[in-house]
Amino acid sequence: MKTYHYWLKKLRKRAQPSGTLSQWAELLSQKNEGSAELWREYLQAILDEEERPSLDLILDLDHIAAPAKEESSNDEQISLW
């Protein structure tokens, strides 16, 4: 389960800033059943390795926790030479 532990380590790092876990919980409560508080407790249990998430939740968390990509402007033209 080396891959799972690597994923969990990255998730913990992304969850470190204050308020991040609450934001994720709010997003998950909007998409799924349950209150934000229940989701926050469940996420904390996952980070503490007391619970194991489903594959669907892992994918949702990857989507939520992924760093935002900077959108490039279509007005900028790349020089070919």
> Residue 8: its pLDDT value, please?
95
- CA 65 to the chain's CA centroid: 3
Could you give the number of structural domains in the chain?
Answer: 1
pLDDT per residue as tens, the chain (81 positions): 679 999 999 999 999 999 999 999 999 999 999 999 999 999 999 999 999 999 999 999 999 998 777 665 555 666 666
> Residue 79: its pLDDT value, please?
64
Considering the domain boundaries, does residue 39 fall inside one?
Answer: yes
Three-state SS string across 6-38, please? Answer: HHHHHHHHHCCCCCHHHHHHHHHHHHCCCCHHH
> Residue 78: its pLDDT value, please?
64
Considering the domain boundaries, does residue 57 fall inside one?
Answer: yes
Distance CA 59, CA 39 (A): 15
Handedness of CA 29, 33, 38, 39 (dihedral sign): negative
Considering the domain boundaries, does residue 81 fall inside one?
Answer: no
